[in-house]
Amino acid sequence: MKFAIMAGGQGTRFWPLSRERRPKQFLAIAGQRTMLQETVCRLSPLARPDDVYVVCGRQYVELVRNQLPELGPQQLVVEPVPRNTAPRIGLAALH
């Protein structure tokens, strides 16, 4: 089974903690790890590392790579244009 983590949102509901350049998924809210890192950690009992994919916009590619250096290039799905959840799921399914 493959797992897709949606990490493309801007996190506007977490303002003022989150900003456009650093939305909530890239913040450490409850501990040392960011929400994205926590999500990957929680998937570890269920998924092999190469079965985890992260879907994000171009503006967040470097943040994802910095926070998840173990993620292979094929596991990072970059959406060409932000289009919300359903298109992200479709794009992830193509990988």
d(CA 44, CA 5): 13
- Of 49 and 92, the structure prediction assigns the larger pLDDT to 49
In Å, how far from its chain's centre is CA 30? 17
* Residue 22's pLDDT band (cuts 50, 70, 90): confident
The answer for residues whose C-beta is within 8 angstroms of residue 85's C-beta and 6 or more apart is 6
**Amino acid at the residue 34:** T
Is 36:54 a contact under the CB 8 Å cutoff? yes
Share of the chain above pLDDT 70, in %: 71
What is the β-pairing status of strands 76-79 and 3-6? unpaired
State which fold the 3-93 domain adopts: Spore Coat Polysaccharide Biosynthesis Protein SpsA; Chain A (3.90.550)
Q: Where are the domains of the chain?
A: 3-93
pLDDT score of 34 more than 60: yes
pLDDT score of 75 more than 80: yes
Is 52:3 a contact under the CB 8 Å cutoff? yes
* Residue 80's pLDDT band (cuts 50, 70, 90): confident
- Is pTM, for the whole model, over 0.85? no
